Structure 1
Amino acid sequence: MAEQSKEGPVALIDTDPQGSLASWWNERTSEAPLFARVEIGKLTEHLQALSKGGIKLAIIDTPPSVTEMIQQVLRIADLVLIPTRPSPHDLRAVGSTVELVENAGKRMIFVINGAAPRARIAGEAAVALSQHGTVAPVTLYQRTDFASSMIDGRTVQEIDPKGRSAEEIGQLWKYVSTQLRKI
């Protein structure tokens, strides 16, 4: 969305050993967003080089488990988005991430992700998460177009620009970009 709303260019950085962001990007036919391979130990230098090269926004994907890598990313992050599924397991697991973000003194926003439409647990998750920080006012619901987009490197906006998933992502980006401008 940042590229589409002219708030780019954007660089994606995948620090998750699973490499799902890199796999998705490798399937893309579009050159935007840029994919940046970085050494985690030189993250600050890499980000400075990207900025000098005209990159306006770097999005860094981290592993879901608490690692030293996450702590390194938190040191330089402006804003931390914590995607959280509305399930008891995910809600219990988020505590260690919250502690890391708070210790780093960074601003965080929870994003409820993969929610089942009309399931009451999404609202309950939002209430529980709000006790630890800000919850984005947009919920991302579980739909097949998200999974389909992972197959061939497209975004949900590219699959169905007028679809509900594209609308949710658009609303989420509008909210996140507003929060970034406040920093």
Structure 2
Amino acid sequence: MKTIVITSQKGGSGKTTLAAHLAVEAERGGAGDVWLVDTDKQATLSQWHSRREAETPGKLDVPFALLPKGLQTLAAQNAAYCFIDTPPTISEQSKAVIELADLVLIPARASPADLWAIADTVEIVKQAGKPFLFVVTQAKPQATITAQAVAALSQHGRVAERFIADRVTYAAAMTGGRTAQEIAQKGLAADEIHALWLVIISCFNEKIVSRGVANG
């Protein structure tokens, strides 16, 4: 099982939206059983999950102290992926979660405040010796600041080649316990999530089923 931790010191960067959308995309792509963990006291991911009509992805509910054991249980049950959402601050709890990661996703908006907050997050991830990937979120594709953000982030590490644009579709879908690709399978948001998932998979050098076509 691969554990993907989504973390950022800056609130509003889109961590929960990424966790929900990527978990659904992983299952839609045939990855296998996918699970979610919500370690944020605001419990936004948990609220989204409670509104879902679909039974998947699953959600692991365990006390934080038992999270490592819970992940071991999922792995023993042949779960494929577990996405962990984290609070909008870096704490000792966040550091402990990062230690459990096989890959850390660091979402960042193309804004000075987000970029200023990146350094501390990156330092903690590097200290843990974990591979990480930046994901630009709520981006305006043609805006100069988006390109500037990519350039700034790339000085610290790899930036996902596909970013998540600022689209109403994401928020609208989350409100009803769904994801953008479930509402509009061939929409622009669905294409973004699918492309981002392929980038994430490439970090693991695994083969997946890409809308009916095997990719390596």
Identify the residue that residue 16 of structure 1 maps to in structure 2: 40
Identify the residue that residue 174 of structure 2 maps to in structure 1: 150
How far apart are the structure 1 equivalents of 2:135 and 2:153?
A: 10
- Does 2:203 correspond to 1:169? no
Higher alpha-carbon deviation: 72-81 or 111-120: 111-120
Offset at 1:51? 1.4
Identify the residue that residue 165 of structure 2 maps to in structure 1: 141
Q: 2:171 corresponds to which letter in structure 1? A: A
Q: Is the 8 A contact 1:79 1:108 kept in 2?
A: yes
Between 1 and 2, higher relative CO (CA 8 Å, sep ≥ 6) is seen in: 2
* Structure 1 consecutive aligned stretches of length 4 or more whose deviation exceeds 2 Å: none
Offset at 1:172? 0.3
Aligned residues: 182
Higher alpha-carbon deviation: 43-52 or 165-174: 43-52
Cα deviation 1:52-105 (Å, max 9, x = unaligned): 223111100011211111111111100000010110001001111111101101
Q: CA RMSD in A?
A: 1.0
TM-score of the aligned structures, taking structure 2 as reference length? 0.82
Percent identity of equivalent pairs: 42
Q: Is the 8 A contact 1:40 1:72 kept in 2?
A: no
Offset at 1:42? 1.9
Unaligned runs of 5+ in 2: 1-24, 207-216
Q: 1:20 corresponds to which letter in structure 2? A: T
TM-score of the aligned structures, taking structure 1 as reference length? 0.96
Q: Is the 8 A contact 1:14 1:62 kept in 2?
A: yes
